[in-house]
Amino acid sequence: MKLLYLVLLLVPACVLGQSACRRLNMVSRAAWGAAAPRARTPLSHPTQKVVIHHSDSRWTDLFNWGGYSDQEEYEERVREIQEDHMDKNWDDIGYNFLIDGYGNVYVGRGWDNKGSHTPCCNSIAIGINFLGYFEDNLPTRAAREAGKNLIACGVAMGKIRRGYAMDCHSDLGASSGDTDCPGAALCGYAKRHFRGL
């Protein structure tokens, strides 16, 4: 009887994770025009944490008139982030994944390579960056759904530990000191809606 209960409990979780993977619109590194990484460091699985980030500062957001107008602008922003990170002598873009307002998921370092997004936790976390500035406003519904599906997919594939810790970059600190990343609105949302997937 206990075995039947366990099977009935685990099957829906596996199916949910698999369907979450199928719902993702992944944008490969080749598709967004990534430069080749200088090096790769394998990431051990399952990771203990998911760390949420946003890409833009208040000034970038104001300069960009509060957002991006199309997917080309998002792809350009992903390339800018990679260039900025590699100019700092990092091996590649720092994040494992980036999500745009249309719900597209850009592969950064992916599931299997250690990121460079949060100094304390790069070797134990998947770093997910939402493209934009989210201090006062949330990402689009499509972006939020993509984030939820990405995490559920990672759990289903064994890349993220069940019972993972959900953290915001601001909870853990930046190499330059304090940070407000990923913004209060997104951080609060992530802690309420991205846990326990």
- For the chain, percent helix, then strand, then coil, each to nearest 5? 40, 20, 40
> Does 167 score more than 90 pLDDT?
no
> Does 6 score more than 80 pLDDT?
no
The reported pLDDT for the residue numbered 40 is 96
Residue 171's pLDDT band, with cuts at 50, 70 and 90, is low
Query: Mean pLDDT across the stretch 146-173?
Result: 89
Query: Mean pLDDT across the stretch 56-66?
Result: 61
The reported pLDDT for the residue numbered 68 is 81
The reported pLDDT for the residue numbered 57 is 62
pLDDT digits (tens, 9 = 90+) for 132-153: 988 889 999 999 999 999 999 9
Residue 86's pLDDT band, with cuts at 50, 70 and 90, is very high
Query: Mean pLDDT across the stretch 109-135?
Result: 90
Residue 165's pLDDT band, with cuts at 50, 70 and 90, is confident
Instruction: Give dist(CA 184, CA 22) in Å, integer.
Output: 30
> Does 169 score more than 80 pLDDT?
no
The reported pLDDT for the residue numbered 177 is 52
Q: 26-34+42-194 domain in CATH 2.102.10.10?
A: no
Q: Are 106 and 100 in contact (CB under 8 A)?
A: yes
Measured in degrees and rounded to the nearest 5, phi and psi for residue 15 equal -65, -40
Share of the chain above pLDDT 90, in %: 57
The mean pLDDT of the chain is: 84
The reported pLDDT for the residue numbered 53 is 87
pTM, full prediction: 0.86
Burial 82-112 (b: 16+ CB within 10 A, else e): beebbeeebbbbbbbbbbbbebbbbbbbbbe
Strands 25-27 and 104-107: parallel
> Does 16 score more than 80 pLDDT?
no
The reported pLDDT for the residue numbered 43 is 96
Query: Mean pLDDT across the stretch 17-37?
Result: 92
